[in-house]
Structure 1
Amino acid sequence: MSDAPILKPSKIPQNRARDGQRVLAGLSVLVACICALPMLAVAIAALSGGTDTVAHLMQTVLPRYAGTTLVLVLLVSIGTFALGVGAAWLVTMTRFPGVRFFEIALVLPLAFPAYVLAYAYTHILDHPGIVQASLRALTGWGPRDYWFPEIRSVGGAATMLILVLYPYVYLLARAAFLQQSATTFLAARALGASAWSAFFKISLPLARPAIAGGVLLAVMETIADFGTVAYFGVQAFATGIYTSWFSLADRAGAAQLALCLLSFALLLAMLERAQRGGAKYHDPSRRQQRMEPARLTGLRSVLAIGLCAVPVLFGAVLPIVVLFSMGLGSEQNLLSTRYLGFIQNSLTLASVAALCTVAAAIIVGFFQRVRPGRMSQGAVYVARLGYAVPGGVIAVGLLVPFAGFDNALDAFMRAQFDISTGLLITGSIWLLVAAYMVRFLAAALGAYEGGQAMVPANMDAAARSLGQTPTGTLRRVHLPILAPSLLTALLIVFVDVMKELPATLIMRPFNYDTLAVQAYRLASDERLEGAAVPSLVIVAIGLLPVILICRQVGRRSR
């Protein structure tokens, strides 16, 4: 009989594993609480504001805000659906000259904030702009002798939003069309259906969940937009919140408007979740037959080129040309100390917020993998709610409790020690970073989970059998494999923070301006040439993740 000792499982790795899971659980709950805090604070502040403010809002501005927001949502839904689905079908199911170029170029407008397009098109379409000036010079008309569409209107704001948001629908619809088997479509054609009839009765219903998800994403961005509607003077909920908070100093009114907008956004989020979770498709043929694209020639190819060129031309090419020409004629020096400060502030905020947001996504996503259950699923669900909450609502929701805490602490220190602590948290960068994390955590979590799905479960089991704790498994196994997904998440959050305007306007520390704030300030003063310079920098940085998305689209299509 061998004298070799019998090896027993060590309790130390098990204890360390349990400790690691407890730490993950605590951090996940902390992230979920931070994400839920703005919504809870807005609800409490709104309900404690009294009925007088609510009654006054109902009699004055609330019907106008609600009506304008609903009109914007309706117009953007129709526009993004038509542009996104039409372009996705053309580049996926047909072949015409330049189709490979358009399948990539159609994503480019995603790099533009809507308010940047608003500055560019106001410069050329407003009364003193080049279009109307040329029209008056050619015809000899006076200012009151002709009618021209007003760019500073609900329709103008909806057009700007459609041009930058249709890529959401385009990307998701194109992915859905690429995944469809040709079996059902060809069966419909064999039964006598025309190509158009087969598209509307077969292909479009099969892609409905993806298309609806893209349209709802565009709607979420529409109700969260502030820069475009504020610059055009459109009275929507986003402008009402900012006006109530700053211009009227009505904190209760701002909170109640934010609660109305929050309720609408959460309703849309639940609709999106319901339609995404309930839609299923089963192909009984058990074989994936790729749809053979139809070759377009003659007039049809010309029409296809024109339809795909319109959103690219008006959503990316023309705005870049206009902004560049405006910037050349401005007095803004991008290399001056002041502008370098704006760039540094923007890069600092975006970098710190991206790192914190991706770290929070890793914590929440990895905890759900290690300990699947109600707690982890609840943390993920609460973390995802931020994408449905506009930046202005998050700003109000964070400022209300932390301003109260700062004021209470200052009063206590004055009474006890005759020392004024001032605003320790409210005026700090870290509170603004927390707002960014709440707003964009869903985007980082989606990218992380997409990469995590590629890590087999047996890798986790192998790591545990080798004595690795959850932290060690994450560090040595998951993170190296997930490096591309994490880089994508970092870039997406980085650029989203660069473009974010309402939360930055409300929460930024004193004398801490960013490129987005500088562009908004110059445009508000009608100095559009000057606003073009920071806008171009924002767009240039925004092209980074768009190029990544374009590369992925190109790989999937081949």
Structure 2
Amino acid sequence: MTASSASTPRSLPRIRGERHIAALVGSVIVVLAVLLPVATILLVAVSGTSEEWPHLLRYVLPQSLGTTLALLLFVAAGTSVIGVGCAWLVVAYDFPLRRLLAWALVLPLAVPPYLAAYAFGEFFHYVGPLQSALRALFGFTNSRDYWFPDIRSTWGAALVITSVTFPYVYLTARVVFLMQGRNIADVARTLGARPWRVFFRILLPVARPAIVAGLALVMMETLNDIGAVEYLGVRTLTLSVYSTWLNRGSLEGAAQIAAVMLVIVFLLLSAEQWARRQQRFHAARGTQMHVRPPRITLSGGRGLAAAGALSLPILLGFGIPLFVFGRYVMRRLYQFADPQVLQAFLTSVAVASVTAVLTVLLALLLINAIRLRRRPATLLLVRLASIGYALPGTILGLGLLLSLAWIDNTVDGFSRSFAGFSTGLILTGTAASIVIACTIRFLALAESAIRSGLEKLPPNLDQAARSLGKTANQSALTILLPLLKPAILTAGILVFVDTVKELSATILLRPFGFRTLATHVYENASRGAVEDGAVAALLIIATAIVPVILLSRPLMGDRNT
């Protein structure tokens, strides 16, 4: 989900007769904290010297912007074809291993793009298993005897990101194919329309809004990535922010590039919002099926071909990373006892745990504010608080670094003036900055998960508790909160895992010597030793599989899907 997906909870009862100013004040503070990095980026970009813009316009933006737009276009096309095609095959046809493949198509979500890039770089390398097998099979002796595409290119980065993000489109398209337009599709078939004509002329137009929403998520993930594009040598806007700040020492220039990225984010959010409105339009007029229509059975060679077509994206997005890192780990089992790996693991667990607890508490605060003050202003505040999920980690990290530095300098100046001592850096360059960044970025994730659980509860629970003499807070603590434990646990797991995987903001904000599993893999890949980070990479993938299993459990449990 993204910031724009925070909608009005239909089942939240409005509690009348009490103003609950504290809930509103708490929501305002959360929103200000979320918007502070964005406001800082824009302020620094506008106040920067005019000397930066000519350099950026001549040497940086044309190439970086062109490469970013090309990468977004390639990834959007690839994820559309793979995600929609896989969803249609799973929904419309029956073939060997269909149910297993329908679930396995979600597994690539467990692999972050930067890990996929490292694995693809090793797998497709000249001395990697694929080219080595080709030389052995055809008798080639060196690279001049045959042509092989270079994975370190824009198309290579597009292949990597597409292979691990297509499930976003697959899931949204699959739901729409199952729930929308099934009666009209059956009518079209009875009138003699062939399956492919029904797909292109009826089901695909109905699913278009959901596909656009899924693509918006994919493109925001693409814009957020820094590890994959840096490793593959693709200069995007995200990488330009990082290099302009560190290599040229220009915070103003980095902020100005980040401002350009904010424009792209705004356009993506607008496209997703439009898609969701269109999706609600279709949902109000779509047809629902309570009985699953018969699938077309594919047997023999056609059934095997369908199973093979679905297996290919699974092998690319999940199989290759698992094979590459698994092979390295089997040769380096001793690294499980490596002090650096253990330190990175414990640091990741600590940061992710604190972030998960803090994020869930803030999400509960926002949801309770809506419950107590269900007014347009409160709903707007919650929507603004959810915008952090749409911000690329590089933008969030840079904006937070500048804003936290200003806060630290202000506190230190005040302490020097009135207390006579220096407080130093309290937030900047500490683990607290990483916790704050991840909390801002994943707050929407936690709020959405808890809100979904709350909307499943009967809407009259609050009124019943109030009629028995309970106050609003007593009702929340003794009735709603216990019932929401599964949703709260799910929200905490999702935030925990995404924090463990997070790289873009961490490499900008981490203090000296601070190492998580993600940065441990990144550091080894940066010096050309991907194999030394294999244990950490597998730990990240193993952790990320947990929410994937939670997400895909209905796909395995429902035989009608």
Q: Provide the TM-score with structure 2 as the length reference.
A: 0.92
Which residue matches 2:11?
none
* Equivalent position of 1:27 in the other structure: 26
**Matched residue pairs, number?**
543
Opposite residue 157 of structure 1, the aligned amino acid is: A
Question: Residue type matched to 1:433 in 2?
Answer: V
2:343 matched residue in structure 1: 341
User: Which stretch shows the higher mean deviation, 185-194 or 285-294?
Assistant: 285-294
8 Å CA contact 1:329–1:529 kept in 2: the answer is no
Hey, what's the Cα distance between the residues in 1 that align with 2:288 and 2:413? 71
Q: Could you give the per-residue CA deviations for residues 295-348 of structure 1, whole angstroms, max 9, x where no partner exists?
A: 111222111101111011121123212211112334862223322111110001
Alignment partner, residue 176 of structure 1 = 176
1:519–1:534 contact (8 Å) kept in structure 2: yes
2:511 counterpart residue number = 509
Partner residue of 1:471?
473
Give the match's secondary structure for 2:144: coil
**2:410 and 2:320 mapped to 1: Cα distance?**
52
User: How far apart in 1 are the matches of 2:91 and 2:333?
Assistant: 45
Task: Select between 283-292 and 468-477 the one with higher mean Cα deviation.
Answer: 283-292
**Counterpart position of 1:389:** 391
Q: Which amino acid aligns with 1:156?
A: G
CA shift in 2, pair 1:82/1:53, >3 Å: same
Q: Aligned pair 1:144/2:144, yes or no?
A: yes
Q: How does 1:92-111 map to 2 (within 5 A)?
A: 92-111=91-110
Helix, strand or coil for the counterpart of 1:207? helix
CA apart distance, 1:176: 1.4
- Map residues 97-496 of structure 1 onto 2, 5 A cutoff: 97-137=96-136, 138-279=138-279, 280-281=281-282, 282-283=284-285, 288-330=290-332, 333-411=335-413, 413-414=415-416, 419-496=421-498
Provide the residue aligned with 1:49 in structure 2.
48
Label 1:490 to 1:285 Cα distance change in 2 as closer, same or farther (>3 A): closer
Aligned to 2:57: 58
Percent sequence identity over matched residues?
A: 39
Q: Residue 534 of structure 1 corresponds to which residue in structure 2?
A: 536
Using the TM superposition, give the Cα deviation of residue 468 of structure 1 relative to its aligned residue in structure 2, in angstroms.
Answer: 2.4
5+ residue gaps in structure 1? 1-14
The AA in structure 2 aligned to 1:108 is L
Q: Counterpart of 1:69 in structure 2: which amino acid?
A: T
Question: 8 Å contact 1:447–1:488 — kept in the other structure?
Answer: yes
Q: Aligned equivalents of 2:559 and 2:36: distance in 1?
A: 42
2 CA distance for matches of 1:284 and 1:103?
24
For residues 434 and 534 of structure 2, the distance between their equivalents in structure 1, rounded to whole angstroms, comes to 25
Instruction: State the alpha-carbon separation in 2 of the partners of residues 283 and 124 from structure 1.
Output: 48
Q: 1:483 offset after TM fit, Å?
A: 1.8
Native 8 Å contact 1:17 1:470 kept in 2: no
CA gap 1:489/1:286 in 2 versus in 1, 3 angstroms: closer
Shift of 1:365: 2.0
Contact 1:230–1:239 (CA under 8 A) maintained in structure 2: yes
Gaps of 5+ in 2: 1-14
SS of equivalent to 1:372: coil
| Aligned match of 1:12 | none
- The DSSP-based 3-state class of the residue aligned with 1:553 is helix
**Distance (Å, rounded) in 2 between the aligned partners of 1:226 and 1:139:** 38
- Post-superposition shift, 1:204? 1.4
Deviation of the 1:413 alpha carbon? 4.5
Larger Rg: 1
Q: Check conservation: 1:181, 1:290, Cα contact below 8 A.
A: no
Q: Is the 8 A contact 2:181 2:206 kept in 1?
A: no
Distance in 1, matches of 2:76 and 2:402, equals 33
Q: Residue 337 of structure 2 aligns to a residue in which SS?
A: coil
Cα 1:90–1:174 shift into 2, 3 Å: same
CA drift at 1:410: 3.4
